[in-house]
């Protein structure tokens, strides 16, 4: 697969050996009139352009580079099923297609999915044939409706402020997977670090008599625990006791390999490879504990944009490198901001011990005013949580960002429902209803504060550090928020220091006044961090941001990932014990 862009398996958390990557050159057409369906473009139509999947048509790496609005787009390619997949049931997978996608194989519609950030698949066994098969994808994407979550994608023609180039259509890997008639379809991993065990829940499609389930945990290729069920059902649960369990710790990760096998006697019917980390997240008073230890979360805001490929990392190595770039400056995690990141980003976070907050691209979705917006939001948020809940790196869920009481994304009853639903799906992690403002119900209280003066910044939080209560706590929207009740408290957006030496245009921006020189930047950076690290009742911070993104120039790295300061210069600001840590 060396000539295929993004050739690696897109889901190392749920991987089968028999798979076929469909990235590469496809036919492509823009359909702004949305008349292609009436014209019969779903089969037998040659499209005029060529695009490189999985890169979106707005990007340079796609070969298209069209950044104007595209109301609808079409894709077409032919594929022949690899020999290793023949004789099996054939599943067609899409990592993400923005936004409303329909799929045909040889003229037969096989899938329809709404949601620009979450995966979907279809069993196409009955639609494929020997030799060439025609695959056609149609995607509508009108983020100006206010009905669909769109994150930081610009609702205007061009980028502006903190809104950036849009992504339309396919932007994650497309692949085929060969499975047996009976196969493992879902996986839920529930670690119990305190007791050195893990519960594995496996969904099975088309269970039949005589096919059992075997679940194995391995360490460095050596089997450490196994559980067997003689007869697998549609839903199965086993618990593995891990001898001499090694825990997954921030920046000191340990992962166990996992094998899910369906067996007919001794014959292997299906096998899925995954992994897990043993770690617990819980709240005790105003502290967030990971494996029973208070951890000050040194997070950085990561937008997940790239200059040549926008939403899609140009390579898997670059996904890993962004995490390493953050760690180099002393951060132990990230807010995955206003986007559901690629699964392989979370894979590398798991491998590197990098803690993350699972956020959602709620901007653009007017949940206050439209029932359709609330429906679209909930459906896709549920899919995102189910996709990512097995990753040990995720320590917090956060479905909303800056949903101010005066805005179109503020709906208190909806917030309560969203919080309850999230905790019901995954009770193992805390949930923040809305980052910054306006809180309705939240396990962690956090605020956004872009004050650029270290002294006034410190003075704002000092009374809370001495006597934490509802009167001393700083809130973003005190008039509309509930009483602070002693939750862990974090400043989840701060800094954003404008640093773009030699700037000659009026479009680039950052927060506050630009420092006059490097030393002024360094002093401000250290002073702001000190105010939070030294406060005994502040549990974490999140600095804005890892990289510049287009016109927003407050990153520690430029948009093309060049460091603005040597990491060793800024790292000491964070590389010490915080007051709240054990």
Are 76 and 40 a contacting pair, CB within 8 Å? no
pLDDT-derived band at 12 (thresholds 50, 70, 90) equals very high
Q: Where in the chain is the domain with CATH 3.20.20.80?
A: 296-573
Location of structure tokens 């320590």:
395
- What lies within 8 Å, CB to CB, of 448 at 6+ separation is 402, 435, 436, 437, 476, 491, 492, 493, 494
| Average pLDDT over every residue of 225-247 | 97
Statement: residue 302 has pLDDT above 90: yes
- What is the average pLDDT across 12-34? 98
User: Does pLDDT of 558 surpass 90?
Assistant: yes
Q: Quick one: average pLDDT of 228-243?
A: 97
- Residue 257 to residue 220: CA distance in whole angstroms: 8
pTM: 0.97
pLDDT band at 502 (very low <50, low <70, confident <90, very high): confident
pLDDT bin (cut points 50, 70, 90) of residue 495 is very high
What CATH number does the domain located at 183-276 have? 2.60.40.10
Angle at 145 between CA 140 and CA 148, to 5 degrees: 70
What does the pLDDT average to over 59-66?
98
Residue 120, pLDDT > 50, answer: yes
Rounded distance, CA 360 to CA 393, Å? 16
Structure tokens at 401: 């960002």
Domain with CATH 2.60.40.10 in the chain: 183-276
- 28 bridge partner residues: 49, 75
* Residue-wise pLDDT tens digits, 417-432: 999 999 999 999 999 9
In this predicted structure, the answer to whether residue 2 has a pLDDT above a threshold of 70 is: no
Rounded distance, CA 173 to CA 93, Å? 8
- Could you say which of 3.40.50.620, 3.40.50.150, 3.30.1300.10, 3.20.20.80 is the CATH number of the domain covering 296-573? 3.20.20.80
CATH T-level topology, domain 19-179: Jelly Rolls (2.60.120)
Confidence of residue 1 (pLDDT cuts 50, 70, 90): very low
Please give the pLDDT value at position 230.
Answer: 95
pLDDT band per the 50, 70, 90 thresholds, residue 3: confident
Provide CATH 2.60.120.260 ranges for the chain: 19-179
């Amino acid at each position: 697969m060396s000539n295929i862009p993004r050739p690696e398996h897109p889901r190392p958390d749920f991987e089968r050996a028999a798979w076929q990557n469909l990235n590469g050159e496809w036919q492509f057409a823009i359909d702004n009139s949305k008349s292609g369906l009436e014209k019969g473009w779903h089969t037998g139509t040659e499209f005029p352009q060529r695009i490189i999947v999985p890169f979106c048509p707005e990007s340079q790496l796609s070969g298209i580079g069209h950044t104007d609005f595209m109301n609808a787009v079409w894709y077409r390619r032919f594929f022949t099923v690899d020999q290793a997949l023949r004789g099996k049931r054939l599943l067609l997978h899409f990592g993400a297609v923005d936004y409303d996608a329909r799929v045909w194989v040889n003229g037969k519609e096989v899938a329809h999915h709404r949601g620009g950030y979450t995966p979907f698949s279809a069993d196409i066994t009955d639609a494929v044939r020997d030799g060439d098969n025609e695959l056609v994808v149609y995607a509508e994407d009108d983020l100006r409706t206010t009905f669909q979550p769109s994150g930081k994608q610009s609702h205007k023609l061009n980028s502006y402020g903190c809104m950036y180039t849009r992504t339309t259509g396919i932007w994650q890997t497309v692949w085929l997977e060969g499975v047996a008639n009976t196969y493992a379809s879902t996986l839920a991993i529930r670690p119990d670090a305190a007791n050195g065990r893990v519960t594995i829940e496996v969904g099975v499609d088309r269970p039949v008599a005589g096919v059992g389930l075997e679940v194995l945990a391995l360490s460095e290729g050596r089997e450490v625990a196994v559980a067997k069920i003689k007869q697998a059902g549609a839903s199965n649960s086993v618990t593995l006791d891990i001898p001499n369990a090694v825990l997954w710790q921030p920046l000191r990760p340990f992962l166990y390999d996992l094998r899910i096998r369906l067996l007919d006697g001794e014959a292997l019917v299906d096998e899925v490879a995954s992994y897990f980390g043993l770690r617990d997240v819980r709240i005790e008073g105003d502290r967030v504990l990971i494996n029973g230890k208070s951890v000050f979360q040194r997070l950085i805001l990561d937008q997940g944009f790239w200059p040549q490929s926008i939403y899609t990392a140009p390579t898997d190595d670059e996904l890993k490198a962004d995490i390493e770039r953050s760690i180099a400056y002393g951060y132990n995690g990230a807010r995955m901001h206003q986007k559901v990141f690629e699964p392989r980003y979370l894979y590398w976070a798991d491998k590197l011990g990098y803690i993350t907050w699972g956020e959602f691209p709620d901007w653009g979705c007017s949940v206050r005013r439209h029932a359709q917006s609330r429906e679209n939001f909930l459906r896709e948020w549920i899919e995102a949580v189910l996709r990512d809940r097995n990753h040990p790196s995720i320590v917090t869920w956060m479905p909303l960002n800056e949903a101010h009481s005066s805005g179109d994304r503020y709906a208190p009853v909806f917030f309560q429902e969203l919080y309850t639903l999230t905790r019901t799906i995954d009770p193992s992690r805390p949930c923040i209803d809305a980052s910054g403002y306006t809180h309705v119900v939240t396990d962690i209280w956090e605020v956004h504060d872009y004050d650029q003066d270290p002294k006034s910044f410190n003075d704002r939080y000092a009374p809370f550090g001495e006597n934490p209560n509802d009167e001393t706590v700083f809130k973003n929207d005190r008039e509309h928020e509930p009483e602070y009740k002693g939750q862990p408290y974090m400043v989840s957006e701060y800094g954003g220091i404008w640093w773009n030496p030699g700037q000659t245009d009026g479009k680039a921006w950052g927060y506050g006044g630009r420092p006059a020189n490097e030393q002024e930047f360094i002093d401000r950076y250290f002073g702001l961090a000190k105010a939070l690290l030294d406060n005994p009742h502040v549990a974490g911070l999140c600095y804005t941001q890892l990289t510049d993104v287009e016109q927003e120039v407050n990153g520690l790295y430029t948009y093309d990932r060049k460091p603005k300061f040597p990491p060793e210069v800024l790292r000491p600001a964070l590389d010490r014990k915080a007051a709240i840590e054990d």
